Structure 1
Amino acid sequence: MIIIDGSEGEGGGQVLRNACALALVTGQPFHITNIRGRREKPGLMRQHLTAIEAACAIGNAECEGLAIGASEIVFRPGQVRGGDYHFAIGTAGSTGLVLQTILIPLLLADAPSRLVLEGGTHNMAAPPFEFIERVFLPVLNRMGPTVAARLLRHGFFPRGGGHIEVAIQPAPLSPVDCIERGALESVAATALIAGLPPDIAERELKTARQHLDWPEEAFACSRLPDAMGPGNVLMLEARFAHTTEIVTGFGRLGIAAETLAKKAAQRMAGFLACPAFAGPHLADQLLLPFALAGGGAFTTVKPSQHSLTAIEIIAMFTGRRFAIAQQANGTHLVALR
């Protein structure tokens, strides 16, 4: 039984999600205490509950102590089976984070899978659907499996109601090297808005123009049906020959459109100034498949606390450790030792 203190390191839900995924892949049970111990509201929230329920469903697993607000569970995995699965969070909790929990085990399952996930698709503290589709999955598909995702309905906080479908063709994970991102091929700034005054999106795009030397045609507003709102997201996308990065600003009460856009643009400008293959969020998501592939390397910006915590959880279940070395060009090379 692997013992985990959920308040260590990053101290959030990522510890729990990675532990569930690794337990299903390795067959090792775990006991986690102090779940999300570093968060303002610790314990299991609805999206974490759904993620664990999903892990139990695909992996014939048992979980003791599973309840909203729980700070401690024991998870005993069974055998992962491919198939058709439907999971509804019931709130605006992130469908992407539920997917993060079960995707890697299903990549290594005995049969293809089709997932239907309902909840939030564009909400704070999680990558939006477009990041999963355009940034993460292309790298994963280079490693052997085939994963395709479709967005059927947007889901913003607090309404939720989003709907995505994911098709998974499993295959063994093969090591890949993701060192050079290649030449910049295109850029785009898109302000999504639903059920809110359109001038919010216009102000975001105006501010982004002031901080990014991008062509005028790169900036666009996408108005969604009011019934999907209220919701607002600014997505900045840079597509390179070998990778894509998406930086997102999420609209919320009390944050001016100009402030949101300025911060997002500055983050994108910082990434463009560094020749790394992966931004901080992609780096977080690459660690688990690279570890299970048994090799490969990627360059990234300065590793986040999320990444450092994921590295420790991976080592607990697999014994495999990553080495991180800063390069002369300012990037960090991440590779299995």
Structure 2
Amino acid sequence: MADLDGGGDALDRLRKAASNKFRVKAKRLFHLHTGEELDAKMMEKLYEARRKPGFTLTVAVSRGEDFVGEVKKTLTTPTSDNAIPTVHIDGATLEGGGQIIRQSTALSAILGQPIAIHNIRANRKTPGLAAQHLAGVRLVSTMSESLIGGDSLRSTEIALTPPPRSEGKQVGKEEKSAKADVGTAGSITLLVQSSLPVAVMSGSSWKLDLKGGTDVGMSPAWNYLTDVTLPTLRKHLGIQVEATCHRRGYYPKGGGHVSLSIEPVKELPGINLVDFGKIAKVTGRVTSSGLPEGVPERIRRSAVDAVEATLKKLGYGQSVSVDVTIHHDAKAFGSGGSIVLVAETETGCYLGGSAVAERELKSEKVGEIAAASLSQSLVHGYCVDEHLQDQLIIFMALSSLPSRIKTGSPTLHTRTAIHFAEKLTGASFTITPIAKADGERADAEDDGAAGSLFIIECTGSRGSPSKQASEHNIVSNTIDPDRDIEQDDESKKSGTNGGPAETENDAPITSINDVDGGVLGSAARLPQRPRRTRARR
């Protein structure tokens, strides 16, 4: 029989149960998986965070400094007509990777919507949470003071239970801080993708201290974040972020270190990026550490030549300015490099092209890859490049006014972001093909052929939880995705557009007990500092 009680009473009952079981007077109780000592305040917090009628808590029992054993007890929380049901999410939907985790956990924290994700990264060669995803989930949990379950390496199921959303939250001067250390070369910029929206919509200023990989494959390079993503958000949504890179980190060692200062906004005004205008300037940065002499310059030269050739064909005569920075031991950890090219238009479009130096790529090829990516946007008049598409979706969904962006064929990451944004926020998106440069119309089922132009529009949700999701407890394989999209060949091969860097530790799953009798076989816990794991060498 479960006990209907509050946090303080629950602690007394747990002590009594432990004393009866072990025939000793239990002086101290500890959360089995966090090692934190339980007190009345912590129990109250556990109770406040639960939305289910009951949950089972397993605690470690000690007498003085001596461990006695474990005791498990089912406790029943008072129910409320205003309780928000958990939304269950199928992690195999559409892209079936880290994008679902980043988007869903961020929206859960912002909206106060409990979620449970299963089949995590089911479409990846190694399913489950890698170190980067784990650090991201824990960071969001810490920032939102959410209860989290299933947060272990390679876990395929997690639950996030945030505190109820405060209506009419005021934007204040309170400053908060949080840290996250991936412990591998897992991408720092992907940590930013999930934590930045949470900070912006929190009502408080935030300082984030993040460690991991700054310039690694399958994710935006650090300079892409600072030179494309953040300027776009600042200019068109009023989001103010100061980003500093203290140390570069490359695959396989990681070790990069950055900090961000983020100011909150009262509301997001919507974004309108449909007028390409004229190209104002093209710049770029090559950064490297430990690469052979001459490699950074060869990367720079090949990129400049390719972009200037494109500009000439388009009728522009300006030159391309690309700086080269070589970092030494104090400013970089390990050997690696990247190039990020940026075109800024007179109408405020920031378009990027980037590439990471890899052993199997010639220096010239690295520069050519970045140049080709940027050139595609310039030639076809995109206002948002293919790597920024999916990053803007969550901000469009949370905006108080409609948004419109002109871009190329929506990537699978973008379609995935749209699907879950619609289900969780109630915002409505439309994807409309428009005339190509040659006068023909793009096909709505276009597979991403160069030259296709699309308008992605969103009504905005004003940051409200989706009535559909809250009332019907859905988002997963119980509903067919609105858009039946197959992953294009390029995405299958490369996992581009901000996909998770597969540089994580292949450590086995850490076994933990079922504590809430629900869909998850995992421990609920209060936020704690992420555990550090080693990168695979």
TM-score (norm 2): 0.60
Q: 1:257 is matched with which residue?
A: 363
- Relative distance call for 1:218 and 1:143 in structure 2 (3 A) is closer
Aligned CA RMSD, in angstroms, stands at 2.0
SS of alignment partner, residue 202 of structure 1: helix
Return 105-114 or 133-142, whichever deviates more.
133-142
How many residues are paired up?
A: 337
Q: 2:146 is matched with which residue?
A: 61
SS of alignment partner, residue 280 of structure 1: coil
- Following TM superposition, by how much is the alpha carbon of 1:148 offset from its aligned partner in structure 2, in angstroms? 2.0
Return 144-153 or 205-214, whichever deviates more.
205-214
Amino acid at match of 1:335: E
Q: Which of 159, 164, 169 in structure 1 is aligned with 2:258?
A: 164
- Following TM superposition, by how much is the alpha carbon of 1:70 offset from its aligned partner in structure 2, in angstroms? 0.7
Identity %: 28
Give a deviation string over 1:120-160, Cα, whole Å, max 9, x none. Answer: 11111111222222222223233244222222222221222
Q: 1:203 is matched with which residue?
A: 298
SS of alignment partner, residue 188 of structure 1: strand
Give a deviation string over 1:54-93, Cα, whole Å, max 9, x none. Answer: 1111111112111001111121112689611122222211
Q: Which of 446, 456, 463 in structure 2 is aligned with 1:334?
A: 456
Is 1:135 the equivalent of 2:228? yes
Give a deviation string over 1:163-219, Cα, whole Å, max 9, x none. Answer: 222112111111231111332121124332211102322332343244222666624
Q: 1:298 is matched with which residue?
A: 405
After superposition, where does 1:305-316 map in structure 2 within 5 Å?
305-316=412-423
Q: Distance in 1 between matches of 2:230 and 2:219?
A: 16
SS of alignment partner, residue 74 of structure 1: strand
Is 1:19 the equivalent of 2:104? yes
Amino acid at match of 2:258: I
Give a deviation string over 1:213-248, Cα, whole Å, max 9, x none. Answer: 266662443211156230121222212220222211
- Relative distance call for 1:216 and 1:325 in structure 2 (3 A) is closer
Return 281-290 or 179-188, whichever deviates more.
179-188
Amino acid at match of 2:345: F
Q: Which of 303, 318, 321 in structure 2 is aligned with 1:218?
A: 321
Amino acid at match of 1:328: A
CA contact 1:59–1:79 (8 Å) conserved in 2: no
Q: 1:124 is matched with which residue?
A: 217
Q: Which of 77, 86, 103 in structure 1 is aligned with 2:179?
A: 86
Q: 2:128 is matched with which residue?
A: 43
Q: Distance in 2 between matches of 1:217 and 1:15?
A: 37
Amino acid at match of 2:141: C
Amino acid at match of 1:201: P
CA contact 2:232–2:350 (8 Å) conserved in 1: no
Q: 1:287 is matched with which residue?
A: 393
Q: 1:52 is matched with which residue?
A: 137
Q: 1:235 is matched with which residue?
A: 340
Is 1:276 the equivalent of 2:382? yes
Q: Gaps spanning 5+ residues in structure 2: where?
A: 1-85, 166-173, 310-317, 437-451, 460-537
Q: Distance in 1 between matches of 2:253 and 2:187?
A: 12
SS of alignment partner, residue 4 of structure 1: strand
Q: Which of 168, 172, 186 in structure 1 is aligned with 2:281?
A: 186
Give a deviation string over 1:261-291, Cα, whole Å, max 9, x none. Answer: 3222222211110112100111111110111
CA contact 1:191–1:232 (8 Å) conserved in 2: yes
Amino acid at match of 1:150: T
Q: Which of 55, 67, 76 in structure 1 is aligned with 2:161?
A: 76
Q: 1:244 is matched with which residue?
A: 350
Give a deviation string over 1:91-131, Cα, whole Å, max 9, x none. Answer: 21111111111211211113211111111111111112222
SS of alignment partner, residue 370 of structure 2: helix
CA contact 2:134–2:153 (8 Å) conserved in 1: yes
Return 151-160 or 199-208, whichever deviates more.
199-208
Amino acid at match of 2:457: A
SS of alignment partner, residue 273 of structure 1: helix
SS of alignment partner, residue 110 of structure 1: coil
Q: Distance in 1 between matches of 2:296 and 2:355?
A: 11
Q: Distance in 2 between matches of 1:166 and 1:104?
A: 13
Q: Distance in 2 between matches of 1:247 and 1:111?
A: 33
Q: 1:30 is matched with which residue?
A: 115
After superposition, where does 1:2-13 map in structure 2 within 5 Å?
2-13=87-98
SS of alignment partner, residue 213 of structure 1: helix
Amino acid at match of 1:322: F
CA contact 2:224–2:340 (8 Å) conserved in 1: no
CA contact 2:116–2:157 (8 Å) conserved in 1: yes
CA contact 1:156–1:231 (8 Å) conserved in 2: yes
Give a deviation string over 1:4-45, Cα, whole Å, max 9, x none. Answer: 111221111011010000101111111111111112222111
SS of alignment partner, residue 90 of structure 1: coil
Q: Distance in 2 between matches of 1:220 and 1:143?
A: 28
Amino acid at match of 1:251: A
SS of alignment partner, residue 284 of structure 1: helix
Q: Distance in 2 between matches of 1:191 and 1:143?
A: 28
SS of alignment partner, residue 234 of structure 1: strand
Q: Distance in 2 between matches of 1:92 and 1:30?
A: 28
- The structure with the larger Rg is 2
**Higher helix proportion, which one?**
1
Q: Distance in 2 between matches of 1:5 and 1:252?
A: 34
